[in-house]
Amino acid sequence: MKRLSFLLLLLLPLVSEAKEAVVASPDGKLIVTINDNDGHITYAASLNGKKMLLPSALGFVANFGDFTQGLSIVGTSASRVDKSYEMRQVKQSKMHYVASKLAVEVENARQQKMTIEFSVSDHDLAFRYLIPRQKNDNPKCAVIEREATAFNLPQGTTTFLTPQCNPMIGWERTKPSYEEGYRTDAAMTDRSFYGQGYTFPCLFRLPSPASGTSRTKPNRTSQKASAKSPQSETDGWILISETGVSSQYCGSHLSDYDPRRGYVIAYPMPGENNGFGSASPAISLPGSTPWRTVTVGESLKPIVETTIAYDLVEPLYEPSQQYACGRYTWSWLIWQDNSVNWDDQVSFIDLASAMGYEFCLVDGWWDKNIGRERMGKLSEYAREKGVALMLWYNSNGAENDAPQTPRDCMNTSIARDREMAWLKSIGVKGIKVDFFGGDKQETMKLYEDILCDANRYGIQCIFHGCTLPRGWERMYPNYVSSEAVLASENVYFNEDAARREPFDLTMHPFCRNAVGTMDWGGVIMNRFMSRDNKSRHTRKTTNVFEMASGITNQAAIQCVAMQPNNLGELTQAELDFLRRMPSTWDETRFIDGYPGRYVVLARRHGADWYVAGLNGTAEPLTISVSMPMFKAGEAVTLLSDVADRKDKATMSTVKSAPKLDKLGRLKVTLQPGGGMIVHK
Ligand code: CA
């Protein structure tokens, strides 16, 4: 590491000359170059000699000083990180993070100082600003008014993004809540839908040298059986996000594309959270900004498998107990508000018990329709059946008009203390809190306060109508998952969303779910999106697709939104799989896929491997799946679709026991909206 400092010194001899610092990943392939040309700090990145990020701005404007211009690099110090840790509730259980660190000390024209800290592992580049107190030990606090932080991607890069929406729009003025759709294979120059930029994580595909700056494949509306887009066509994927956002900062997103600067870090909109709370964050000094992360790969493998959201953060408190993972039933998805009554909830507790599931989630209005006193009895009934209850809450407060109750139980510490003591007294193990007010620091504080208080009462938390979790699985030990996705409820609400489900669920493993646990809200087994399972629109996916999504979607407490009637409708093979389906993983491997077209993932639970595939396209897709986790030539259990699904109505599952070929591969045809599951 001394070599880096030496290199810097060589480049430092003349006062006004630009200085450059370099940090390379442990394998030497990912190289980040930082310089201070013309008083602006920029960084650029290359992977195996291929430009991934063009020179991109760094810096910020604080209320005590401007760190966007008149800057110079005044020193560097290099070090190395090698840390191992374990997690119970994400894509992998044993983590090992090895990275080269470089602290780049920067001074502005007024001799004010800050440090840009880089942490570069083989496939992840991360950085943050460390802000000290200045001369005379002041200021001791700062408002960061804006950041210059940018991500400038090469010309011809295509995008896989979901837009940020305007504040206080949508149902009962509850947005933004990360519930917008994705567009794939789009041009950087396309304006975002609302003109408010894009929410994290943001996925990009770099152009291959052969294709130059021309755009590649059109988007999903015209995709065909050539769902397969050979990886050799491309040589760069980039996933941009952030981690370590606690009550000490706001959640950020990316601006619209600016041809001169690329994408720039944007703070929440002033109108979020009913206009209450500042859009800019305030921090105590010395302090730091969250880590911004850039995951890079020559294939999609490092993108899908990244653990950078967890590698850079630490637990913020100790768990008060060991928290359980598992599966939950949920009446609301198909039976809706009317199902929040005693009898229907008993039938979903019975369903959870029959399936061997650990939890049942009771949705909104339970305080009115069942009543607090009887909730104690319902929880007791569940406990006798070996099932723990989780209860729904409105986050309000004053942030929007969401009417469901209980309201005003989670927005102050006094209310939470009373409520959570009662929850503990009746044996409730989790809460799902819905309808948050956006990304301001004010709202980040509410998430943290709920989590910290709930831990004292042994309660785990799921968030809906909410922001992206940013390292929270590691930071908050009783945090479970977040919606932060245009989720399964839309499959119920409208037929267009049902048609889009295969596209959505082949998008998320590459993006949303790659950096944070995702509560999609359920494996759906009803044929029709109705309680009688005869009326309204049908589901557009096969049964295997839905079951495989329970593997490809990652959440440590996984929703299985099957209905009591499904017990008598599904085949034994389907019920057997749904009963044994794990929700926690020791290892995750990307095998094949393309965002929004298809995906094949392998996940290991203990000694058991599950290889799950989804076809997001409108045509059958025949793939040869390489499965090195099984022995070549041995027989495996395969759940697949019925061969011909041209009428799009067949949802049935075929169970077979094919043998892998001599190279450990299996040829499988995934039907449109269909899938596959292989296990032993
Ligand atoms: Ca929602």
Q: Is residue 634 part of a domain?
A: yes
Res 210: pLDDT: 57
Q: Is residue 13 part of a domain?
A: no
Res 14: pLDDT: 46
Res 13: pLDDT: 43
Whole-number Å distance, alpha carbon 464 to ligand 1 midpoint, is: 6
pLDDT digits (tens, 9 = 90+) for 53-100: 999 999 999 999 999 999 999 999 999 999 999 998 999 999 999 999
**Percentage of the chain with pLDDT > 90?**
92
pLDDT digits (tens, 9 = 90+) for 205-231: 998 865 544 334 444 433 343 455 444
Whole-number Å distance, alpha carbon 293 to ligand 1 midpoint, is: 26
Question: Of 151, 168, 187, which residue constitutes the final position of a domain?
Answer: 151
Please, are residues 116 and 36 in contact by the beta-carbon 8 Å criterion? no
Q: Which of 183-187, 207-211, 224-228, 419-423 is the least confident region?
A: 224-228
Whole-number Å distance, alpha carbon 442 to ligand 1 midpoint, is: 21
Q: pLDDT confidence of 234, banded at 50, 70, 90?
A: low
Res 215: pLDDT: 39
Whole-number Å distance, alpha carbon 559 to ligand 1 midpoint, is: 14
Question: Of 151, 174, 197, which residue constitutes the final position of a domain?
Answer: 151
The CATH number of the domain holding residue 48 is 2.70.98.10
Whole-number Å distance, alpha carbon 12 to ligand 1 midpoint, is: 54
Q: Is residue 478 part of a domain?
A: yes
**Same domain (yes/no): 364, 486:** yes
Name residue 388's beta-bridge partners.
359
Tell me how far the alpha carbon of residue 195 is from its chain's centroid: 22
Whole-number Å distance, alpha carbon 465 to ligand 1 midpoint, is: 5
pLDDT digits (tens, 9 = 90+) for 244-265: 999 999 999 999 999 999 999 9
**Same domain (yes/no): 549, 637:** no
Residues 385-396 have a mean pLDDT of 97
Q: Is residue 317 part of a domain?
A: no
Res 626: pLDDT: 96
Q: pLDDT confidence of 608, banded at 50, 70, 90?
A: very high
**Same domain (yes/no): 222, 135:** no
Res 232: pLDDT: 44
pLDDT digits (tens, 9 = 90+) for 149-175: 999 999 999 999 999 999 999 999 999
Res 214: pLDDT: 38
The most distant pair of C-alpha atoms in the chain lies apart, rounded to whole Å, by 80
Question: Tell me, what amino acid is at 299?
Answer: S
Whole-number Å distance, alpha carbon 502 to ligand 1 midpoint, is: 18
**Same domain (yes/no): 139, 226:** no
Decide: residue 424, CB within 10 A, 0-12 exposed, 13-18 middle, 19+ buried.
middle
Segment (H or E) for 451:
helix 441-456
Res 647: pLDDT: 66
Q: Is residue 1 part of a domain?
A: no
**Same domain (yes/no): 301, 340:** no
Q: Is residue 462 part of a domain?
A: yes
Range(s) of the domain holding residue 131: 18-151
Res 553: pLDDT: 98
User: How many structural domains compose the chain?
Assistant: 4
Whole-number Å distance, alpha carbon 101 to ligand 1 midpoint, is: 39
Q: pLDDT confidence of 514, banded at 50, 70, 90?
A: very high
Whole-number Å distance, alpha carbon 463 to ligand 1 midpoint, is: 9
Identify the sign of the CA torsion 195, 482, 306, 129: positive
**Same domain (yes/no): 503, 566:** yes
User: CA 639, CA 677: separation in Å to the nearest integer?
Assistant: 5
Whole-number Å distance, alpha carbon 177 to ligand 1 midpoint, is: 8
Please, are residues 185 and 216 in contact by the beta-carbon 8 Å criterion? yes
Residues 477-496 have a mean pLDDT of 98
**Same domain (yes/no): 502, 390:** yes
pLDDT digits (tens, 9 = 90+) for 353-390: 999 999 999 999 999 999 999 999 999 999 999 999 99
Whole-number Å distance, alpha carbon 392 to ligand 1 midpoint, is: 12
Whole-number Å distance, alpha carbon 361 to ligand 1 midpoint, is: 15
Decide: residue 48, CB within 10 A, 0-12 exposed, 13-18 middle, 19+ buried.
middle
Res 60: pLDDT: 98
| Average pLDDT over all residues of the chain | 94
3-class SS of residue 283: strand
Residue 1 predicted with pLDDT over 50: no
**Same domain (yes/no): 417, 496:** yes
**Same domain (yes/no): 177, 295:** yes
Res 223: pLDDT: 39
Long-range contacts of 25-32 (CB under 8 A, 24+ apart): 25/99, 25/100, 25/120, 25/121, 25/122, 25/123, 26/80, 26/98, 26/99, 26/100, 26/121, 26/122, 27/122, 29/122, 30/120, 30/121, 30/122, 30/123, 30/125, 30/296, 32/102, 32/118, 32/120, 32/125
Residue 2 predicted with pLDDT over 90: no
Whole-number Å distance, alpha carbon 167 to ligand 1 midpoint, is: 16
**Same domain (yes/no): 573, 640:** no
DSSP state of 440: S
User: CA 398, CA 411: separation in Å to the nearest integer?
Assistant: 9
**Same domain (yes/no): 413, 360:** yes
Q: Is residue 435 part of a domain?
A: yes
Segment (H or E) for 15:
none
Res 167: pLDDT: 98
Residues 223-240 have a mean pLDDT of 62
Q: Is residue 41 part of a domain?
A: yes
**Same domain (yes/no): 191, 262:** yes
pLDDT digits (tens, 9 = 90+) for 93-106: 999 999 999 999 99
Q: pLDDT confidence of 476, banded at 50, 70, 90?
A: very high
User: CA 360, CA 345: separation in Å to the nearest integer?
Assistant: 8
Question: In this structure, how many other beta carbons lie within 10 angstroms of the beta carbon of residue 573?
Answer: 17
Whole-number Å distance, alpha carbon 648 to ligand 1 midpoint, is: 28
Whole-number Å distance, alpha carbon 608 to ligand 1 midpoint, is: 33
Whole-number Å distance, alpha carbon 489 to ligand 1 midpoint, is: 7
Question: Of 262, 285, 311, which residue constitutes the final position of a domain?
Answer: 311
